[in-house]
Amino acid sequence: MRVLVVEDEVRLAETVRRGLAAEGFNVDVVYDGEEGLWAAKENAYDAVLLDIMLPKLNGYKVCRELRAAGVWTPVLMLTAKDGEYDQADAFDLGADDYLTKPFSFVVLIARLRAIIRRGAPERPTVLVAGDLELDPAPRRVSRGDQEIELTPREFGLLEFLMRHRGDVVSKTEILQNVWDAHYDGDPNVVEVYVGYLRRKIDTPYGRKAIETVRGIGYRLAADGG
């Protein structure tokens, strides 16, 4: 199995390379985001270990550019940042998993093998609900011919609702999938962001695509409202 390591800390990169090689992986190492993006586009890898804080191009941008280019190689992000929003943003941008430094090499190997087993199925190109469209790769949302600007969190929430359009999803499901599986903050943050979305995708167009199902959660109309 071939793995690309994109890490600017030379000693850590070499430690990871040696450890992976000892486990039977074929490892390429690069030290900045631009080179990592080029390598991941030009070569076939089973997985990419991607640091977030990189010179020239940070890991978030590398991941976003890969997905925009249709490269679905599984990405495991490595970072010293451990905030819940940092993790959620990584997933919003297309990462498959996230590991905080310092990390156990045993855990790294387990996570790496897990994302490789899952493989790299291509994500749906465009999600559609009536005239409401969401394109995950370039992170574009529109109603008809009107493009709508969303923040990363708003985009993640809308994407989750559109992948389950017509179904009722609970606040808990939204928090686990859009925020973090271990999120323990105020669950009312979901209501706040639903309100933000409504003001952007519904109110200006006279629509009511996002329905509140009292006592249960929310539903996005399959026809886009």
Helix ranges (H only) for the chain are: 10-22, 33-42, 59-68, 84-92, 105-118, 152-163, 171-174, 189-197
For residue 121, what pLDDT band results from cuts at 50, 70 and 90?
A: low
Q: pLDDT (tens digit, 9 = 90+) per residue, 175-191?
A: 877 876 556 667 788 99
- Phi and psi for 87 in degrees, rounded to 5? -65, -45
pTM to 2 decimals? Answer: 0.56
Give the residue carrying structure tokens 């199925």. Answer: 121
DSSP secondary structure letter of residue 114: H
- The dihedral through the CA atoms of 33, 73, 114, 83 has a sign that is positive
> Who contacts 144 (Cβ-Cβ below 8 Å, separation ≥6)?
131
Structure tokens at 178: 């859009």
DSSP codes joined into one string, 124-144: PS-EEETTEEEETTTTEEEET
The one-letter code for the residue type at 161 is L
Q: 193, 206, 70: which is closest to 138 by C-alpha?
A: 70
pLDDT at residue 161, as a whole number: 92
**What pLDDT is stored for residue 125 in this prediction?**
61
CB 87 within 8 A of CB 98: yes
Task: Give per-residue pLDDT as tens, 136-166.
Answer: 767 789 998 899 999 888 988 998 898 888 8
